[in-house]
Amino acid sequence: MASRSDALELAVLGLLHEAPMHGYELRKRLGAALGPFRALSYGTLYPSLRRLSERGWITESEQSDDAARAASRRARIVYELTPAGQERFELLVRDAGPASWEDDSFDVRLAFFSRTAAEVRIRILEGRRARLEERLEQVSDVLARNRERADRYGLELQRHGLDSVQREVRWLNELISAERARPNADPPPAPHDSEA
């Protein structure tokens, strides 16, 4: 349903799947992965972490043992994936439903493609491509109907929009070809050090 918050959930779970982390760093990594613009605020991140914790997918533990404290600046809250959280992540990453190729989630899904099964990768890429081609069709319809009405700037705007979508389609084609070229490359879950 709420695909924007689903995407955030996946992103957080995915990053914690690599290593335990505290909130501040989580936010930086999120920014680095999805583009530094579109940074989410703490007002979004912390409540979201709280929710994940309530559902039992992550644990919050105050980093207070000596070794850590010696090197650290301040008591930080380290979030760690629980086994249930790992399962949840693997469930999310296995899904290739329509939501996965919408604007809100596609980037995040791609960012975790290394942890995604090969067939799922292809289905998502193809779903995304189909979605964009649908868009292309709609835009040309509108363009055809508005030919007289539109002014110079409106046309320019739509031309550029069309162009961007076409380029994304071509980019997807390349990614899909690359996937097909090596249908193997289905890496193991790569669990982090502390098992259990």
Partner DNA sequence: TTCGTCATGTAATGGGTTACATGATTAC
Partner DNA sequence: GTAATCATGTAACCCATTACATGACGAA
Q: Is 122 within 8 Å of 181 (Cβ atoms)? A: no
Name the DSSP letter for residue 98.
G
Closer to a copy of itself by Cβ: residue 55 or 167: 167
Please choose which of DNA, a copy of itself, none residue 138 contacts, taking the beta carbon within 5 to 8 angstroms, the exact cut-off set by kind.
Answer: a copy of itself
Q: Taking Cα atoms as reference points, which of 74, 84, 69, 116 lies closest to residue 16?
A: 84
Task: Dig out the tokens for 87 from the structure.
Answer: 């399962």
What is the footprint of a copy of itself within residues 146-175 (CB under 8 A)? 146, 151-154, 156-158, 160-161, 163-164, 167-168, 171, 175
Query: What is the CA angle 151-157-161, rounded to 5?
Result: 145
123-146 in b/e form (b: 16+ CB < 10 A) is: bbbebbbebbeeeeeebeeebeee
CB of 161 to DNA, least distance (A): 17
Which parts of this chain interact with a copy of itself (CB under 8 A)? 31-33, 35-37, 107, 110-114, 135, 138-139, 141-142, 145-146, 151-154, 156-158, 160-161, 163-164, 167-168, 171, 175
Which parts of this chain interact with DNA (CB under 7 A)? 1-2, 4-5, 8, 22-25, 40-44, 46-48, 50, 60, 72-74, 76-77
